[in-house]
A and B are shown apart, each in its own frame.
Chain A
Amino acid sequence: MSRLPDFQAAKWDEPVVMEMGRPGGRGQIFPTPEDEVLASVGDDLIPDAMARKDRSILPEITEFEAQRHYLHLSQMTLGMMGVSLFGTCTMKYNSKTSEYATLRPELADVHPYQHEDTLQGVLSIMHEFDGILRSLSGMDQFIFQAGGGADAAYTMVALARAYWKDRGMLGQRTEMVTSAQSHPCNPATAAAAGFKVVNLPLEENGYPSLDALKAAVSDKTALIMLNNPDDMGIYNPEIKEWVRVAKEAGALCFYDHANFNGVMSKLSARELGFDACMFMLHKTFGAPKAGGGPAVGAFGCSDDLAPYLPTPVVVKEGERYRLDDNRPKSAGKVREFWGNVPQVVKAYAWARGMGSEGIKLASDISVVANNYMDKRLSEISGIAISNPDVKSYRMEMTRWSLGPLAEETGIGTVDFANRMADYGIDPWWMSHEPWIVAEPFTPEAGELWSKEDIDLWIDVVAKIVEEARTNPEMVKTAPHNQPVAQVKGDVFEDPTQWAMTWRAYQRKVMGDEKAERGAA
């Protein structure tokens, strides 16, 4: 057992910024318009009907006060400064080289509507990276417009609409078929795009049966959307047959490669028969997550679907790169411009830093490390692996259950997550909804962490299991050395108490009616 760290999080007791400062405090001062500007046009130029009369109630603080305040807040964010084995998110090192490169004016101060001649550098990176993803997936064209994995799923359903519209069958192909355990973004985007969602239930072996699929697909099916492996760490070995069955019914097949880390370099979505796939550059490809974006869902598809892609598409003609906007059958845009370009550059940097061999090794390591964890976790009493009948080695992550311990001690997965941070360990990922196993948690080791990191993580789990038995009240009231005590959730569903802004809080909780209006 590792020596567990005697950890104490930073606790600055930082006020909400709205409470800070004093009248006249300034953190940024702008120049006054030049004399010739004033002489020519003056500076009172907003039509009276639209001129702001009240003074906005913002804090008035100096530059250093702002810097110190937000540095304090950053220090009260664990980030991945602990050990974060956050399943489904594939925690990786986010290279500072690529952070610095993308902050240079050569990218940060570039406008997407600049003439193509002035964008050849960034276009070359996007084209090269398109090529890297083509090699990894077998697809024919990638775009980066989608602002995350869910947005790439949305790209797929928008594209499916355009595809079926082009065939005059949009009124007939109205259904999307997926697994009940697929990422929520797949059914949710399909529903938002107007498709009826058919969820296939999981069987004992961890995935829906082929028979269930056969019963579900028909000439109404517009597309199927699948993850494989799923979050249990189980690979559906019938996936090729699934694709064949779906295509026989005419449906499009989309591979949500959210869980790509364990199979990268091993599988090719196109060879398995898929028409399109998605990679999350902020997960598998080493771009930072930043608490939820800016992210990129890189969307790739076959030549058959390429005419329906959102525009623009980066293409190379001779030695020159160009933005191709001329796609009359395009599904339309899912987001303005061509994507979170700095994140694409970071993902390119990651892929170049790894190379073919590095990527293959990372995939191997992620599966080795997960199975090492499985073995060690299986030796802790009170926790149970999901789908216990599946005896094979799992892929790069495994869904576990704290169900037995919860029944024994009353300590569940949320309590556990709260307590983990007390040891400087990032709280674990539990599960997407719906929870199929009781009190779930889902570690994913990836290729970043050392054996010592992973051992520490498991030792902390073992320690908290012990605490659940010896001192459940302490675990129930955790955390105890974080920036704040356990947050009470009672306001979050209560319209009379929730407060999404300081002004709402003042009005509702502090009873300050002035907060509704400007100070004037």
Chain B
Amino acid sequence: MPTEPRPASSQSHPWMALSAPGAIDDMLEYIGAPSVEALFEQIPADHFRKTPLDLPPALTSEVELKRDLVTRLKKNENCEDNLSFLGAGVWQHHVPAIVDEIVGRTEFATNVWGSYQSDHGRNQTWFEFSSQLGALLNLDVVQLPVYSWGCASGHAIRMAAKITGRKKVLIPQLSDPERMSVIRTYCQPQEMESAIEVVLVAADPTSGRLDLNDLKSKLGSDVAAVYFENPAYLGTIETGAAEIAKLARAVGAETIVGVDPISLGVMTAPGDYGADIVTGPVQPLGVHMHCGGGAGGYIASRDEEAYVRSYNGFLVSIAQTLEPGQHAFGLACPHQNSYGMREDGNDWTGNSTYLWAIAGAVYMSLLGPEGFAEVGRLIVSRARYAAKLLDAIPGVRVVWPDTQFKEFVVNFDDTGKSVAAINDSLREKGIFGGKDISGEGLGVGQSALYCVTEVHTAADIQRLSASMKEVLS
């Protein structure tokens, strides 16, 4: 015979020890308060809410809660069951299983701020993130990541404005509208007294690279920084990077480069071509796409005091302890951020994406120098192969072939079909086509930005090509 379930008041909620029977009463007795309500005496009666809470029914049982979550999430389609060529800010890269294990460790998932000693393992991991990324960038200072690449670039531009005392930044016209929207927020509406003016620099139409003549015409002693990305938003490799940095330096402007770190096994370290401040995404370093929640952005520079003193967030330095010969870790320049100086600190900081620094540390240690070289070669080969197969389809044209890293622009103007229609058809075949960039004001007609990485096999690419032919026929 089934037993009656115990009434809710006779057992605790699984997440609240003090909801066990009698626990509150014991405490009230010790406090000497007549009731729970009495403890809220500071709140005037007319402040209490009048409308009752109207939440969906509780799912206190994990059985029910899991069922609800999974049932809902299964209404998504995902990039494991489908073949996806979406990139543009988050990309489908392989996440080693060990990375998931380490970032899932409860100590790493739940910690907050202890002492330098009780946080030692985490702080060392953070230092190892910066150290390994610094080795890829050939730069000595790497800050813990901020919210995203766009946010990192926004902060970097503000750093440059602070360092130079100037209020204008030059940015390629062919930039990601998503990142640009964030950067413009950081640079402020022009009506604000402290606004940083954003001036766009044209692209060379034959290569997609920055038009150096247009750059020269816009560079002057009022420019705080030139910002460009390498590889750029549309996938192109900026071969003129050193020249751009030289031109910027000649007018006293900072060179800020956005760099996807997964390219750095095969591409020149930005520290070697004159970048002053480098930003980029951390998601390629072992973080799932998480529907965009994998975003995070690093900021790095040379180890010069003017730069170090202008960072907004957390810089982890190696240090000594009271025990001779022992090293540990702590925060350098802890008072220059908003925690230390409120409105007088550098920009602001707070909770960020520091778990992804841990993911990145594990990821980079697993790859090592050869892994980065290998994955870089694999990505660029397969991306070029995909571009070649697509370009061979009648009506389909790869804009700027043979210049890209992992992303490239595919133009469909001559097919008579819109990217939206093509992607709808591809989706029916289990393929997520590239991001539709037709409406982004980049002057590329009906085009999509395709992304190919180490997870795409030659067979996947052939499947894309065959499906594309069917869709366009």
Question: What are 19 A-B pairs at a CB distance below 8 A?
Answer: A18-B132, A27-B366, A28-B96, A50-B230, A101-B70, A106-B78, A107-B291, A111-B92, A118-B77, A184-B348, A199-B342, A234-B42, A288-B110, A289-B112, A293-B355, A487-B320, A500-B130, A501-B130, A509-B318
A58 touches B122 (CB 8 A): no
Which stretch of B16-24, B218-226, B245-253 is in the interface?
Answer: B16-24
Given contacts A26-B371, A111-B79, contact A500 B73 (CB under 8 A): no
Residue A417 interfacial (CB < 8 Å)? yes
A216 within 8 A of B: no
A58 touches B117 (CB 8 A): no
Chain B, residues 352-379, CB within 8 Å of chain A (1/0): the string is 1111101001101111111111111110
Q: Do residues B117 and A418 form an inter-chain contact, with CB atoms below 8 A?
A: yes
CB contact between B121 and one of A75, A147, A336, A429 (< 8 Å): that residue: A75
Contact status A114-B423, CB under 8 Å: no
Least CB distance from A416 to B in Å reads 10
Cβ contact within 8 Å between A271 and B51: yes
Encoded as 1 (CB less than 8 Å from any B CB) or 0, chain A from 23 to 41 comes to 0011111111110111011
A5: interface (CB < 8 Å): no
Interface residues of B in 320-374 (CB under 8 A from A): 320-323, 326-334, 338-345, 347-356, 358, 361-362, 364-374
**Candidates B31, B78, B188, B380; contact of A371 at CB < 8 Å:** B31
A184:B339 contact, CB within 8 angstroms:
yes
Contact B90 A485, beta carbon cutoff 8 Å: no
Chain B residues, Cβ within 8 Å of A388: none
- Supply 11 further A-B pairs (C-beta < 8 A) apart from A97-B69, A289-B110, A336-B295: A28-B371, A84-B112, A105-B78, A109-B288, A294-B355, A353-B58, A356-B58, A375-B31, A450-B20, A451-B27, A499-B318
| Contact yes or no, A101 B289, CB < 8 A | no
The residue on B at minimum CB distance from A364 is B36
Max chain B Cβ within 10 angstroms of own Cβ: one of A53, A56, A334, A393: A56
Find out whether the CB atom of A421 lies under 8 angstroms from the CB atom of B114: yes
Indicate whether B395 reaches chain A with its CB closer than 8 angstroms: no
| A318 CB within 8 Å of chain B | no
Q: Which residues of A contact B424 (CB under 8 A)?
A: 115
Q: Kindly state whether residue A486 has any CB partner on chain B within 8 Å.
A: yes
Distance, CA A18 to CA B364, complexed state (A)? 11
Interface residue tally of chain A, by bracket? 35 or more
Q: B122 → chain A, closest Cβ, in Å?
A: 4
Indicate if B98 sits at the interface (CB-CB under 8 A).
yes
> Please, which residue of chain B has its CB at the minimum distance from the CB of A375?
B31
In the assembled complex, how far is the CB of residue A317 from the closest CB belonging to chain B, in whole angstroms?
16
Q: What is the 8 Å Cβ interface bit string for chain A, positions 86-114, against chain B (1 contact, 0 not)?
A: 10010111110111111111111111111
Cβ of B119 within 8 Å of any chain A Cβ, yes or no, is yes
Considering the chains assembled together, what is the distance between the CA atoms of A509 and B227 in angstroms? 33
Q: Does B421 contact A (CB under 8 A)?
A: no
Minimal Cβ-Cβ distance residue in A for B324: A485
List of B residues within 8 angstroms of A58 by Cβ: 132, 135-136, 364-365, 367-369, 372
CA distance A185 to B362 in the complex (A): 31
Q: Which residues of B contact A339 (CB under 8 A)?
A: 292-293
Chain B residues with CB under 8 A of A97 = 62, 65-66, 69
> How near does chain B come to A93, taking the closest CB pair, in angstroms?
5
Q: Is B458's CB within 8 Å of the partner chain A?
A: yes
The proximity string for A residues 288-300 relative to B, scoring 1 for CB distances below 8 Å and 0 otherwise, is: 1111111100000
Which of B92, B110, B303 has the most C-beta atoms of chain A within 10 angstroms of its own C-beta? B110
**Is B471 in the interface zone, CB < 8 Å from A?**
no
Is there an interface contact between B382 and A37, defined as CB atoms closer than 8 Å?
Answer: yes
CA distance A293 to B287 in the complex (A): 13
Task: Please state if B134 and A504 are interface contacts (CB–CB under 8 Å).
Answer: yes
Contact B105 A418 (CB under 8 A): no
Whether B369 and A56, one on each chain, are in contact in the complex, defined by CB atoms closer than 8 angstroms, is yes
Given known contacts A57-B135, A371-B39, A135 and B53 CB-to-CB distance under 8 angstroms: yes
Q: How far is the CA of A36 from the CA of B459 in the complex (A)?
A: 10
Residue A408 interfacial (CB < 8 Å): no
Contacts A17-B361, A63-B366; A333 near B185 (Cβ below 8 A)? yes
Known contacts A351-B55, A489-B319, A37 near B100 by CB under 8 Å: no
Q: Does B81 touch A at the CB level, under 8 Å?
A: yes
B391 vs chain A, min Cβ distance (A): 11
Q: What 0/1 readout, one digit per residue, does chain A (118-136) give for beta carbons within 8 Å of chain B?
A: 1111101100100010011
Residue A47 lies at the interface, judged by CB distance under 8 Å to chain B: yes
The one of B41, B77, B90 in contact with A337, judged by C-beta atoms closer than 8 angstroms, is B90
Shortest Cβ distance from A268 into chain B, in angstroms?
4
* Complexed CA–CA distance, A125 and B266 (Å): 41
Interface centre among B316, B340, B384 (most CB of A within 10 A): B384
Q: Are A110 and B289 touching (Cβ within 8 A)?
A: yes
Tell whether, in the assembled complex, residue A128 and residue B264 are in contact, meaning their CB atoms are under 8 Å apart: no
Q: Is the CB of A240 within 8 A of B47?
A: yes
Return the CB mask of B60-92 against A: 1 if under 8 Å, else 0: 101001101110111111111110101011101
Are A33 and B378 in touch, CB under 8 angstroms?
yes
Interface centre among B33, B74, B318 (most CB of A within 10 A): B318
User: CB of A511 within 8 A of chain B?
Assistant: no
Question: A247 CA to B194 CA in the complex, in Å?
Answer: 26
User: Is A139 close to B, CB under 8 A?
Assistant: no
* Residues of chain A contacted by B81 (CB below 8 angstroms): 105
Taking A71-B102, A353-B65 as contacts, is the C-beta distance between A433 and B378 under 8 angstroms? no
Shortest C-beta distance, B321 to chain A (Å), equals 4
Residues of chain A with a CB closer than 8 A to B341's CB: 433
Distance of A255 from chain B, by nearest CB (Å): 12
Cα distance A137–B127 in the bound complex, in angstroms: 40
Contact of A365 among B24, B128, B382 (CB under 8 A): B24
| B159 CB–A CB distance under 8 Å | no
A502:B134 contact, CB within 8 angstroms: yes
User: What's the Cα separation between A343 and B353 when bound, in Å?
Assistant: 12
Q: Would you call A94 and B121 a contact (CB within 8 A)? A: no
Q: Which single member of B30, B62, B80, B128 contacts A16 (CB below 8 Å)?
A: B128
Chain B 91-133 interface mask (CB, 8 Å, partner A; 1/0)? 0101010101111111111111111111111101101101111
Contacting residues, chain A, for B239 (C-beta < 8 A): 47, 49-50
Does B193 contact A500, Cβ atoms closer than 8 Å?
no
**Chain A residue contacts of B265, Cβ below 8 A:** 52, 56
Looking at B54, B81, B181, B338, the one whose CB has the most chain A CB atoms below 10 A away is B338
Stretch binding the partner chain, chosen from A399-407, A461-469, A476-484:
A476-484
- Find chain A residues with CB under 8 A from B435 CB: 113
CB distance from B175 to the nearest CB of A (A): 12
A-B complex: 6 closest residue pairs judged by Cβ atoms: A355-B58, A337-B292, A150-B350, A76-B121, A121-B75, A188-B338
Q: A97-B66, A104-B70, A492-B332 are in contact. Are A429 and B113 (CB under 8 A)?
A: yes
Q: Select from chain B the residue with minimum beta-carbon distance to A65.
A: B365
